[in-house]
Structures are given as structure tokens and as C-alpha cells.
Amino acid sequence: MGTYYIPRNVKGESRILMIFSVKGLIYTAIGAGIGLLFYFIFSAIGLNILGWICIAVLGAAGFVIGTLKVPNTNAFEITKKTGGENIDDVIKRAIKFKQAKKKIYVYKEDTKDEQ
């Protein structure tokens, strides 16, 4: 008898606390860290509640950026082009595009018709 590979679903095995993927946890920590800076600023002027809200909102924004994908729909131009890709990949590509001073290089092969 031979040995056969049996495929299995391993999608959820790299998750932490059943909700965070490794990338999602890193982005959540970065967002909460930025929110923590705002917390220190707001706590210096006596607005602790607003600081906690900043931590929660920016942590949630980090989670969304690190976990979700751009919906694949034809309703908007951006979703036609980036549908199904991770949000963080789209943001990284937009930042690189801005740093390149909005230049797009298109390489076209020269085709010569020989008769």
C-alpha cells in the first residue's frame, strides 16, 4: 500500500485567540501603540476617556487593515482594480506610488510586421 496525502483545512491554525492572525495582531499592536501616544497627550490635559477611545479606535483600525480584504465589486473604480487584495498591500502600493512622484512606467514590446 502506498502513502497518500490527505488535504486538510489549516486556515485557522495560525490564529491567536481565534480572532487574530499574526499579521492582524501586529497591525493591532501598532494601531494601539499610536493610540497610546494620543492617550498620553490627552491624559496630560485631563481627558483620559478620550485617550482610551483613541486607543480602541486606532487598535480596531489596525486590526481591520491587517485582517480584511478589499471587497471584490464593480461599484467603485478602486474596488474594480484592487478587489480581493489585502488592505495593507493596497496601502503599501499607494505609498510607493506617491514616493515615486506618481510615475508609472509601461514597457511595450516592439512588434514589427515582417512580410
Write the pLDDT tens digit of every residue in 46-105.
888 998 999 999 999 988 888 887 777 777 776 777 777 788 887 888 888 888 776 666
pLDDT recorded at residue 14:
65
Whether 69 and 86 have beta carbons less than 8 Å apart is answered as yes
pLDDT recorded at residue 36:
92
Provide the whole-model pTM. 0.65
Listed residue (64, 55, 56) closest to 24, CA to CA: 64
Tell me the domain boundaries of the chain.
15-68, 69-107
pLDDT recorded at residue 77:
74
Write the pLDDT tens digit of every residue in 22-40.
888 888 899 999 999 999 9
